[in-house]
Structure 1
């Protein structure tokens, strides 16, 4: 599997072809019926990748909403997506959650451990992304944000004890091939395909995800 290699802050801005972002945004809307919205983008300043928002120490350069009303600007229309990215081809691709899907976010190490368990259990999986800051997002049916805390408690874990977060209404995930600063691009750990068009319910995945996050929490305490 391809690994993301971090670079120093002084590294040149990574090249990102605008047509790749445009084509991807259109495909997400047209083929997956996901709402998409353009976010900020990367600009070059002194040989560094900086965010179009203008904040010097932006925590997610080139990969966050560009305006406060971003959620109302989202579109599920391929024509609308093409029009928006034609205006700003370098804009990041944001996928609002709480509409056609929610997302369960975990650390990358826990995510890969959970994926291995899910495959052994022959569970149905939806798309999964991995980000340059080593987080993974499992796409599940909407409603996960309200279910997951109780599901985790039923498994014997206090929700606050696990590094497991759900993103539902009012939130978003950053979609490939968006780049985040100079640290690399968001990638698919499990790509969207015809096979995983139907998403799993959070209840189907929460046990291996909670187990993996619990293992990581125990390892952190032992260090």
Structure 2
């Protein structure tokens, strides 16, 4: 428990030091999440603080205080430093492959579309992108694609879900904490959706996270 709390605190401080607001999440206790709020009925991953949007911060002193008290999940509010495009694994793999090819053809700093990518243990891929752009019309109606913007959040590595830990497929350090243009990534996602629809039909994976309004 102490080791987990130390790892989570270290990760939360690393994000905060790079200007990413963090907020403590409920921690896994058995098969449900405990936020220590009396009477809280939520059993899934959720913020530990009732007014989490106001409390979220990159103040390292406050972050240290939170994670000294409990092994909180590390939640990253979206719509601030970044938005998140959350997709199923079969689309995530296509987009990441296309982004790597694009970067290798154009070279560093020229049309770079790679950014940090986190993966949940249930196979949801989360692409961190510059904030503010809505989903393109081709993606907005898809249940497979979720945009997390203002008012939403995502669990960050190494937070643990019942199925296992969240991990980085592409860490922020690999991209020097740079974020790609949202529409550039969405363009690759549109291509990936089209390619997938021309192939075998795959079951939909709905988000296990909170969708932004």
TM-score normalised by the chain length of structure 2: 0.80
2:29 is the counterpart of 1:43: yes
Counterpart of 2:179 (choices 199, 212, 216) is 199
2:14: which partner in 1?
27
Deviation at 1:55, TM superposition (A): 7.2
Counterpart of 1:140 (choices 129, 150, 153) is 129
Alpha-carbon RMSD across the aligned residues, in angstroms, is 2.5
Question: Could you say if the C-alpha distance between residues 159 and 93 of structure 1 is closer, same or farther in structure 2, counting changes exceeding 3 Å?
Answer: same
Distance 1:33 1:142 in 2: 14
2:139–2:190 contact (8 Å) kept in structure 1: no
Q: Which runs of 5+ in 1 are unaligned?
A: 1-13
Counterpart of 2:164 (choices 177, 184, 203) is 184
Aligned residues: 191
1:161–1:217 contact (8 Å) kept in structure 2: no
1:87: which partner in 2?
69
2:155 is the counterpart of 1:174: yes
Counterpart of 1:127 (choices 107, 116, 139) is 116
1:4: which partner in 2?
none
- Stretches (4+) displaced over 4 A: 53-57
TM-score normalised by the chain length of structure 1: 0.77
1:147-166 deviation line (CA, Å, top 9, x unaligned): x2xxx33xxx3631462121
Distance 1:106 1:176 in 2: 17
Distance 2:101 2:41 in 1: 45
